[in-house]
Structure 1
């Protein structure tokens, strides 16, 4: 197995891994070719692959990458099942990837392996820059397959947050030597004498090293996303394999946020209140001797210089890259979002939006599911299922119990029938369908109902009120390096630097 080797010099800028194709291969490739670390999202990669194929793959990129997949049989099966020459007919819904269960992981896993390869291969095509993949730890049933696909394409980094990715280093180690990898599946209510694990053996997909004619795969560098120096210390010492560094995320970062430590307290707008307890101690991070990058509210030249002065290798930036023209965000949504942001649309950290229970940042756009009326009018359905929770279902008459899957955003009666509480369904939004719509792949449900977007951003979104309509990933990088300025110069005090309400975001002096 080749040991992970951090590039030298280390990248000062890591492009954020925004989920479901916002951080697509085009964005990651643009950042990597500019000398920084480009990141593709592995979240929802099976559905993303199939929806691109059903839209006809107009530029041929997906099919070009599929022609390089190491097991042509799997690539051809994806094409035969999902590719539509010329794309879907008007009003035609996407054919869905069948929801996996603990006892039936394919075809979702097979498609996720292929999708992880395609996204990474395209991001790395034609240059020698560094490319990583981002995944959410909490999506345990959807984590291992994209990692294998990405490693088959030579991914350089793996970055994971939204949980404690203790099992992942060993997964990377095992895949690098062609062995099966396994992670623990958290099952709510599972008896203490049970332990459910999910295992992926590359040989079962014709991807063992002997079949590939290889002695090993490159083992990527692993950077967990953490909010606490205590968690960093634990992972550095007790993870299942080597950890090469950390991304330290503040509560101002976009997407899923870690809940505040201690009892949840909400402000007058119903947002979680964070304090100094929720920031990592940077002195203790420096003592670990591993590189780290600061994320959340760091997307500015001043943020980069502050990070470097604190001993960080640099910063991770999401929001500015998400709204650039190289990202996978639907262009119409991007333009409408910028218009509404300039008109005063705000950002809300919603403690209820995500079925996972993690606070989730949502841009308050009138034509999206952030609109309470549109949310209420939407027909509940769980047809993608990435955020489903595994639970233990007791079976009577002396039979063995079994594992079920449920989501607080699915139809209420279904969730309650599976043992979920009615209270847990209040305010929960279907992030899976909303984020697919953000990237321009909205499902058409029965009766012609088109899934609406649900746009997430970090607190830096307020800066964009003063940016020009169109800017590239390269311009974001030059801005962060102090080499370029947005065309618009109207500055509102406290906003141009991405500052938030000081009552909600504590001082970051000596912390993050």
Structure 2
């Protein structure tokens, strides 16, 4: 039997977090449905306003407005379930996104694509739970030490994203190539010990949640046996009826083969995992001109960047796959049909 996932006073009946996938892949419908079923549903805030008319003129204002809108919509579906948002540290105006989510009563903020050093100072005095994403013991040590020293605080949970995860990855190409499951599990055990150490100091439980290619109940149990309290799953939720992505995006997962899944260089400055298509082939040939800057990523210089990641991801969410970056996890090729959120949850808890 599985245990519920307790994060502070929040209790998820199912120890599963649905991964936050942007742009526009996990929005209110998917997040609300997973929350209603007892998991933790997560809305990605990355360019969340792209569906709105005013987005091109005022991307920041539109994104902030739609954070509140999607949280409201998800709450209606969630039936009292737990909702989080995923906010990338690399986001320009990161602090405004965090404050907007808190203002709209979000239960948890999950934050990666860089270490969320500033996060505690932005949510001080609120009930919002903080779940940093890290990829290594080293990253966990640095972050916990800095939060401890600067803010006198520890995370409410730690999310460890492994090398089989989708989208942006906190690893070098070398590390991804030489990945060994057993060695990585040893590292996770050490992260669990570190979380216990800080938990004792702050007199709280700090659950560790792990993510990246966990396919079924047996694999989940293997992680539970090394001290992990929950799992995060993203890729398997893409090919559900409830996922907010375009049907063509879902079909790209269903149609792809193992050899179509490649590691690409993202303008965010990290490697990413995606499905090989015309767009990726074109990026190998040279720079793809940028028509308009959406001011999305701190690290991006429009003069230097190989392509606009916002345009590439928005095209994916809209089903314009010839001009799209189709992020996915290592096992996307195993998805062979459209299912439901209930079907995916049954893979782990059925």
TM-score range normalised by the length of the shorter chain: 0.7 to 0.9
User: Structure 1: where are the runs of 5+ without partners?
Assistant: 55-81, 83-94, 100-107, 177-218, 267-271, 390-405, 416-424, 443-449, 484-512
More displaced stretch, 322-331 vs 25-34: 322-331
Residue 97 of structure 1 corresponds to which residue in structure 2? 57
1:234 correspondence with 2:112: no
Q: Is the alpha carbon distance of 1:475 and 1:234 closer, same or farther for their aligned partners in structure 2, counting shifts above 3 Å? A: same
Distance (whole Å) between structure 2 residues aligned to residue 291 and residue 285 of structure 1: 10
- C-alpha distance after superposition, 1:93-150 (max 9, x if no partner): xx61347xxxxxxxx2x333322111111111251100000011112x2322222222
CA deviation vs aligned residue, 1:401-436 (integer Å, no higher than 9, x gap):
xxxxx52xx4xxx44xxxxxxxxx5xx332211111
Cα pair distance change 1:273/1:345, threshold 3 Å: closer
Deviates more, 1:309-318 or 1:118-127: 118-127
Q: Aligned Cα RMSD in Å?
A: 2.7
1:170 is aligned to 121
SS at match of 2:323: coil
Q: 3-state DSSP class of the match of 2:117?
A: coil
More helix by share: 2
Distance change (3 Å), C-alpha of 1:457 and 1:282 = same
- In 2, Cα distance between equivalents of 1:336 and 1:8: 35
Alignment of 1:31 onto 2:26: no
Q: What is the TM-score with the length of structure 2 in the denominator? A: 0.84
Note the C-alpha offset of 1:355: 1.2
Are 1:479 and 2:350 matched, yes or no?
Answer: no
**Cα offset for 1:164?**
0.7
SS at match of 1:8: strand
Of 334, 337, 342 in structure 2, the residue corresponding to residue 463 of structure 1 is: 334
Give the paired residue count: 327
Structure 2 CA distance for aligned equivalents of residues 386 and 232 of structure 1: 26
- Could you say which structure has the larger radius of gyration? 1
Alignment partner, residue 325 of structure 2? 454
Which residue of 1 is the match for residue 90 of structure 2? 138
Structure 1 residue 222 corresponds to structure 2 residue 130: yes
Change (3 A) 1:441 1:335: closer
Distance in 1, Cα, partners of 2:128 & 2:16: 18
Normalising by structure 1, report the TM-score.
0.59
C-alpha separation between the residues in 2 aligned to 1:113 and 1:255?
23
Do residues 284 (structure 1) and 155 (structure 2) align? no
Q: How far apart, in 2, do the equivalents of 1:233 and 1:378 lie?
A: 38
Match of 1:310 in 2: 226
Structure 2 stretches of 5 or more lacking a match? 1-6, 197-205
Structure 1 position 438 matched with structure 2 position 342: no
- Structure 2 residue 156 is the aligned partner of structure 1 residue 244: yes
Residues 375, 146 of structure 1: alpha-carbon distance in 2 compared, 3 angstrom cutoff: farther
| Counterparts in 2 of 1:280 and 1:453: CA distance versus 1, 3 Å | farther
Query: 1:433 & 1:331 partners in 2: Cα distance?
Result: 18
